[in-house]
Structure 1
């Protein structure tokens, strides 16, 4: 059976390796050693910055989609009440059609809220395959994507704090010769990855969701995902190479900073962050957002009509 996933990821592996190689060549031109772990670590961080910067327009669409989803929650609740207890196919189809009409009217859909993560996943899996195949490719003098055999061998020798970037926690524990540095660094990176993802989701729920959204049935799913997603990535992280953990933790830190900026400068209307934003505007003497401008009454200047002054006739000269 052909490796369908591997075939799909081939162009992504090339793109990932090209971006990493570009940063690596730039850093070596600045004087950093080519086989140094920090050179390759900064190359991975550079990969994150390029991908996340390219995803900023998608992130803006995600914000609009999330706010659209929150805005239609009251109407969605009415729709659910309308079809409550109706399980026949006709009713379910009618409810689905009305839901799609609501999404269209508000210019949003549930898929848009997940779009940035879905776009990032091919790059994540591609980096995972690149780093996981480094040792095998290095032993067989093979290249990976845009990386030459010599560059693959450089990466295979690269380490930070005596932990190779291509090593992972689980193989170390399962193997006989345990590298303590790999185990300790992997645990620290996994905890950082879990914490950054949890904090990001927590600040959205506690600060940037309207009161109506907090009371909706959709919120129960969000609270469940708040704890489930970090746990899933934490469990999966034991098999991630350290380089992949660096990539994912850096991505989470970018997301956390980006979300902090959005919550502070562009909060969701009706949320606690929005009320705090309004208070800051009042403290600065700025008008409240959404407040109608009150026009000041203009006083009409009434000209007083006095007694008309008759023009005086000039005396004519006597002939």
Structure 2
């Protein structure tokens, strides 16, 4: 670790100078040899570095979202050219160039912090050994060695031996308790930040390998920092805990104010925005008007969260305009209610068993021997009155072999042009 830290010795002088400037400020308030003065100097160093890294953080957010959106296309390229690695790489680079995406942008804040992190580690290691470094002279080094944070020297480590800790005027128990608490808080804040990102700020409608990778990192990173933390001085743990808390707060702000489209955070944000717009009948800030303008511009490409937002405006009698403002409209309520009513009135699709049962019931409601009963009046039309009377009396009998009984109750019907039983006499007016 000392070898890696020595590679960043070119930045140890600026880091030590910044710490000394903050120490002179806090030393005038809390005392130059107190742990508060040196601890707050390290915290202020973190805050200053993270403020300078805000543009890189914004770029990291854009790059992460672009990578999420490109995952389906990247997967298609990999499947299409799975046997040609060179063509696959060329198509990937072409896709990055067309969309303006840089895969390394998501790592920029961490990479930019690394020199300051290793420089601070190198400074604290020199303080623990009592050596001058950068602008820290002998008096400042001795002052830092005597500074304790909750009983633990800022240059002490969890794995230090008792003799080394006693040389820093502290006990090994106090050092290990303080460092253990800081390691747990550091790992927990790292885990919560990543978990918050995965649960609220990821488009859940798109299942990609990138999401699985981020989910794995959510569990791997805290374990890595916990293992490495036992070899960090207390001052470095203060530095890393502060930067994790800053990242967590920064991530919460981004999720609440600029969520990823299609995510749970966007749904919550649009619900808050809908409540604000409907209560005031206007979009009250320029940033919110930009959000509404972007939703209107999407048209039919809106996701479910954005469609619910537009529908909520319509139910309140408001219509979003292309410039991000809203206007009142009486027809918007009618259209929203009409669409909902039409949706409710649509009949449910019946199962196949129910449709067959309905068809069987309809056939059972028809008169028995429907074909025979339809042909019977045509046969009796030309019969004399006496013949029809005899036929009627025959229908009243219970004999199954009579012609009337067959016509009324038998399921078997004569073929077209044929009659069973005795033939009726020809009508006198018939020519045949």
The answer to whether 1:43 aligns with 2:41 is yes
Q: 1:115 aligns with which of 108, 112, 130?
A: 108
| Higher RCO (C-alpha 8 Å, min separation 6) | 1
Residue ranges of structure 2 left out of the alignment (5+ in a row):
278-282, 284-288, 298-319, 328-432
Do the aligned partners of residues 56 and 24 (structure 1) sit closer, same or farther apart at CA in structure 2, a change above 3 Å counting?
A: same
> Which residue is 1:290 aligned to?
295
> Which residue is 1:13 aligned to?
12
Do the aligned partners of residues 107 and 174 (structure 1) sit closer, same or farther apart at CA in structure 2, a change above 3 Å counting?
A: farther
Do the aligned partners of residues 226 and 173 (structure 1) sit closer, same or farther apart at CA in structure 2, a change above 3 Å counting?
A: farther
Report the more deviating stretch, 230-239 or 173-182.
173-182
Q: 1:269 aligns with which of 261, 266, 281?
A: 261
Report the more deviating stretch, 11-20 or 149-158.
11-20
> Which residue is 2:372 aligned to?
none
- 1:42-99 per-position Cα deviation (integer Å, ceiling 9, x unaligned): 0000100110000001111111111111121121122122124x1xxxx111110111
> Which residue is 1:147 aligned to?
136
Residue ranges of structure 1 left out of the alignment (5+ in a row):
297-319
- Whole-angstrom CA distance in 2 between matches of 1:163 and 1:247: 15
- Whole-angstrom CA distance in 2 between matches of 1:282 and 1:259: 23
- Whole-angstrom CA distance in 2 between matches of 1:253 and 1:278: 27
- Whole-angstrom CA distance in 2 between matches of 1:6 and 1:78: 42
- 1:104-156 per-position Cα deviation (integer Å, ceiling 9, x unaligned): 122112211011001111111111111112122x2xxx421111111011001
The answer to whether 1:252 aligns with 2:250 is no
- Whole-angstrom CA distance in 1 between matches of 2:52 and 2:165: 43
Q: 1:52 aligns with which of 30, 50, 53?
A: 50
> Which residue is 2:117 aligned to?
124
Following TM superposition, where does structure 1 have runs of at least 4 consecutive aligned residues deviating by more than 6 angstroms?
Answer: 173-177
Q: CA RMSD in A?
A: 2.2
> Which residue is 2:214 aligned to?
222
How far off is 1:211 after superposition? 2.3
Do the aligned partners of residues 276 and 82 (structure 1) sit closer, same or farther apart at CA in structure 2, a change above 3 Å counting?
A: same
The answer to whether 1:237 aligns with 2:235 is no
Q: TM-score, structure 1 length as denominator?
A: 0.83
- Whole-angstrom CA distance in 1 between matches of 2:90 and 2:48: 39
Aligned pairs for 1:62-211 (under 5 A) are 62-84=60-82, 86=83, 91-136=84-129, 138=130, 142-172=131-161, 179-211=172-204
How far off is 1:174 after superposition? 9.6
- Whole-angstrom CA distance in 2 between matches of 1:27 and 1:173: 31
Q: Which has the larger radius of gyration?
A: 2
Number of positions where the alignment pairs a residue of Structure 1 with one of Structure 2: 284
How far off is 1:172 after superposition? 3.9
Do the aligned partners of residues 146 and 80 (structure 1) sit closer, same or farther apart at CA in structure 2, a change above 3 Å counting?
A: same
Do the aligned partners of residues 220 and 173 (structure 1) sit closer, same or farther apart at CA in structure 2, a change above 3 Å counting?
A: farther
2:4 and 2:118 in contact (8 A); partners too:
no
- 1:180-237 per-position Cα deviation (integer Å, ceiling 9, x unaligned): 1101000000000000000001111111111255x10122211111111110010000
- Whole-angstrom CA distance in 1 between matches of 2:92 and 2:105: 15
> Which residue is 2:317 aligned to?
none
1:40 and 1:158 in contact (8 A); partners too:
yes
Report the more deviating stretch, 8-17 or 241-250.
8-17
Report the more deviating stretch, 195-204 or 279-288.
279-288
1:169 is paired with a residue whose SS is: coil
Do the aligned partners of residues 125 and 74 (structure 1) sit closer, same or farther apart at CA in structure 2, a change above 3 Å counting?
A: same
Do the aligned partners of residues 176 and 208 (structure 1) sit closer, same or farther apart at CA in structure 2, a change above 3 Å counting?
A: closer
- Whole-angstrom CA distance in 1 between matches of 2:136 and 2:165: 31
- Whole-angstrom CA distance in 2 between matches of 1:245 and 1:274: 34
